[in-house]
Structure 1
Amino acid sequence: MSSHPFRVADALAVLGAEFAEHTVAINEQGDRIGYRQWGERGPVVVLLHGISSSAASWLPCAQVLSQTMRVFAWDAPGYGNSTPLEQAEPRAADYAVRLQAWLSVLQVKPGAIVGHSLGALMASAYVAEAPAAMQAKCLLLLNPAQGYGQPGQEEKSRTVQAQRLATLGQLGIDGMAESRHAHLLRPNASDEERAWVHWNMKRLNDGGYRQAVAMLSGDDIGAYLRKRPASTPARVACGDVDGITPPQGCAALAETFGLPFALVPSAGHASYIDAPDAVAGWIEQAVLSHSRNA
């Protein structure tokens, strides 16, 4: 798909045939994770979507990665068929507990964890706490959301949460998908690419989205990155025309933690949809360069 103009009909056909949904119970309580898997050999790459998305949204990028890696993309708790978290206002560490349980059940150790947007908070929380046997070989933060839970950000945190929930209350999931989907992509994205984002956004669950808003409003990616093991390298990338997590903020995060930073050309916030080949190449290069690490 990545070498031809993107078409939603083609994507849905490939989704059903090659990147189909599975669900697995992850604990004795019967909590479940819905996920998609592609690729038969190579390092394991785990893909974590953002607040307005799903495992399915990774399809164009996963198709490229699956040629050299085993790709696992989850629907976060409260998304798709994944059981919501118990907490009304969870933190990224709560999502990371589910992530570790899911990977343990699948018996896979991640070669790389890629967190996009809100997924970057979850990925950072995972790396901060994962035992050595389950630790990722590298952490990749793509268009990372940094959260509004830092000290001194209390007013901003309340504002973000109130605005997000007011929009949900006024528009509902369908209305949000209609009004917001184009903002995730580069300005000159095709109608079909926008329709793909719209298709994914319409599948959000009200309760799961509210939990994710609480996490975005109340958490801080820096708190997890400060706990990252020195043996687990990390990198940051951002679409060069991202208006949601702008390049300047992503570059500043990378500089704060001494991490390599890359711009994804001609890409907005959903950079892995705008530029799937470039993002897959960034992931592959990172995994290859760190594959010699223990």
Structure 2
Amino acid sequence: MEPDIVSIDGVETATWVLGSEGPSPDVVLCHGTPWSAEVWRQVGTRLAQGRRVHLWDMPGYGRSSMDADVPVDLASQMARLPRLLDHWGLESPDVVAHDIGGAVALGAHLRHGAEYRRLVLWDVVTLDPWGSPFFRLVAENADVFAALPPALHAALVREYVAGAANHALSDAWVERLAAPWVTEPGQAAFYRQIAALTPADTRPVVERLASVRCPAAIGWGQADPWIPVEQAGRLADALPGDVPIATLEGVGHLAPVEATEAVADAVEAWLA
């Protein structure tokens, strides 16, 4: 399905709308790194039976602009989401977010006034510590990695993608998720977005977690190799109210892909 390219602060942003307006509130799905809206495509299709579902590739990812002059740090992404909600005409949608998409959704809410009806967070990057040793190595040497021969870069990206799911993804899924990064502009963009990500942009959000203004729920893969499942409980404790947690046995970091039906079941129950 071809995206609708919209301009957010002059940056070309790939967006999709699934389903049609129904009795349930609209839902917005936010991806993480190094992913794109593809991570949520199957869950989104399921949720679109009775509601509109909005997806986007954050600038720097997927089919959005990968121009070198586009800021791809978390603070910039947090500021863009409320403007995208305005573009879609959404005043208080349900929001479901994965990985750094969780930090972006929380930052848009707590730092930029975006309002949500409900917020669902899956294996999210928010609490310290985050960023694997490999992630930090790349961040400190982005120019070196960007100069890798294309074949070596492609092998690295595929291994990185596969490792997020403990090598449980099909070859087709690995290729699908790696595809945006194995082009010439994608190679530079891959390392640029890693170098731009820093806990300095999530710490101000963590300090305000008790001020979240909507009901929240948390999902996590028990076998997440990137962000330990113990962070689910810590995050729930930091949020206001009684926050339900669903953990999926044997599932890694890519729960929306690894366990699509279980994630969709949990999300539908929480949003209901």
TM-score grouping bracket, smaller chain normalisation: 0.7 to 0.9
- Structure 2 counterpart of 1:282, from 248, 261, 266: 266
Alignment of 1:72-87 (within 5 A): 72-83=54-65
Instruction: Please give the TM-score of this superposition, normalised by the length of structure 1.
Output: 0.75
- Structure 2 counterpart of 1:271, from 255, 262, 268: 255
3-state SS, counterpart of residue 114 of structure 1: strand
Distance 2:235 2:15 in 1: 29
Instruction: Please give the TM-score of this superposition, normalised by the length of structure 2.
Output: 0.80
What amino acid does structure 1 have at the position aligned with 2:33? I
* 1:43 Cα offset (Å): 1.6
* 1:48 Cα offset (Å): 1.4
Please identify runs of 4+ aligned residues in structure 1 that moved more than 4 A.
Answer: 84-91, 147-150, 155-160, 163-169
Distance 1:194 1:96 in 2: 27
Counterpart in the other structure of 2:31: 49
* 1:143 Cα offset (Å): 0.8
Structure 1 unmatched ranges of 5 or more: 1-15, 289-294
What amino acid does structure 1 have at the position aligned with 2:59? P
Counterpart in the other structure of 2:237: 255
Alignment of 1:1-294 (within 5 A): 16=1, 20-27=2-9, 30-41=10-21, 42-83=24-65, 91-131=73-113, 134-146=114-126, 159=137, 161-162=139-140, 167-170=145-148, 173-199=153-179, 202=182, 205-228=186-209, 229-257=211-239, 259-288=243-272
Distance 1:147 1:213 in 2: 17
Matched positions, count: 263
3-state SS, counterpart of residue 35 of structure 1: strand
3-state SS, counterpart of residue 247 of structure 2: strand
Structure 1's 86 and 191: CA in aligned 2 closer, same or farther, altered over 3 A?
A: closer
Q: How many percent identity over aligned positions? A: 22
Structure 2 unmatched ranges of 5 or more: none
What amino acid does structure 2 have at the position aligned with 1:119? G
Distance 1:244 1:200 in 2: 21
* 1:77 Cα offset (Å): 1.3
What amino acid does structure 2 have at the position aligned with 1:109? E
Distance 1:48 1:222 in 2: 20
Distance 1:222 1:235 in 2: 20
- Matched-pair contact (CA < 8 Å) for 1:148–1:220: no
